Chain A
Amino acid sequence: MFEVRVQEAAFDLGAEHARLAALGPAVGAVVSFVGQVRDHSLRLEHYPGMAERQLAAVLQEARARWPLLGAILVHRFGVLPVGTPIVLVLSASGHREAAFSSAEFLMDWLKTRAPFWKQAGGDWVDAKAGDDAAASRWRD
């Protein structure tokens, strides 16, 4: 099961994890990551269509690099208060190394490729050079 979703609604980590955990006897590891709003409430704008397309492309790239049995990416948009989950990454594999590494890769790449923009107060958040560096360490 490989799935990407872009939604305003909250997601349920336990329910998504259970779907991957139940994929079959070959699943030996499921890694999950939840990003949440820090410091200031945010409004997230996105490019409908391209957001899903780019998340799917990032997921395809992860599948080419690791022997994944399943993965789920969920990214939220809209108004999100401090402490609210924004992004969910789940990766399932036979062993922990592929699950850990691919989950980290998925986060790093989606931050520089998925068309979402954060606004805090009235100000648009600037892209961080550190995010580009994190994404580029996965090349080859």
Chain B
Amino acid sequence: MIRLLYFAWVRERIGLGEESLPLAAPALLSAIVDRLCGQSAGHAAAFADVSRIRAAVNQDFVGFDAMVRPGDEVALFPPVTGG
């Protein structure tokens, strides 16, 4: 199992701030995002253009080629706009 967190318009398009996804073995983040796109029309809309998505695993920024392991906290969100 992994914990997924969504923020800003990613959260709004999916309609959830947080969910769990079964994960039995390590997988590429890109493969996990592909799986998520099949979950609902909202997921597919949120991740239609991954060039507009940033990701973090266990609260550190990663690329889509990162490995995700069972138990990880994975966050998907737009480029940050703080400051």
A-facing mask of B32-61, CB < 8 A → 1, else 0?
A: 000000000000000000000000100111
A-B contacts, 23 of them at CB < 8 A, read: A45-B8, A46-B7, A47-B7, A47-B75, A47-B77, A49-B59, A50-B56, A75-B82, A75-B83, A87-B82, A87-B83, A110-B83, A113-B61, A113-B80, A114-B83, A115-B7, A115-B56, A116-B81, A118-B81, A118-B82, A125-B81, A127-B79, A127-B80
Contacts of B81 in A (CB 8 A): 116-118, 124-128
- CB of B77 within 8 A of CB of A115, answer yes
- CB of A114 within 8 A of CB of B8, answer no
Contacts of B59 in A (CB 8 A): 47, 49-50, 53-54
| Known contacts A115-B56, A117-B7, A124-B8, A86 near B83 by CB under 8 Å | yes
For A51, give the chain B residue with the smallest CB separation.
B82
Give A110 to B5 CA distance when docked, in angstroms.
21
Give A35 to B83 CA distance when docked, in angstroms.
7
A-facing mask of B16-36, CB < 8 A → 1, else 0?
A: 000000000000000000000
Give A54 to B54 CA distance when docked, in angstroms.
14
For B82, give the chain A residue with the smallest CB separation.
A116
Give A117 to B80 CA distance when docked, in angstroms.
6
A86 to nearest B CB, angstroms?
Answer: 7
A107 touches B (CB below 8 Å) = yes
A119 touches B (CB below 8 Å) = yes
For A115, give the chain B residue with the smallest CB separation.
B80
Q: Which of A6-42 contact B (CB under 8 A)?
A: 35
B61 to nearest A CB, angstroms?
Answer: 7
Contacts of A53 in B (CB 8 A): 59-60
Contacts of B75 in A (CB 8 A): 47, 50, 115
Contacts of B80 in A (CB 8 A): 111-117, 127
Contacts of A46 in B (CB 8 A): 7, 82
A30 to nearest B CB, angstroms?
Answer: 20
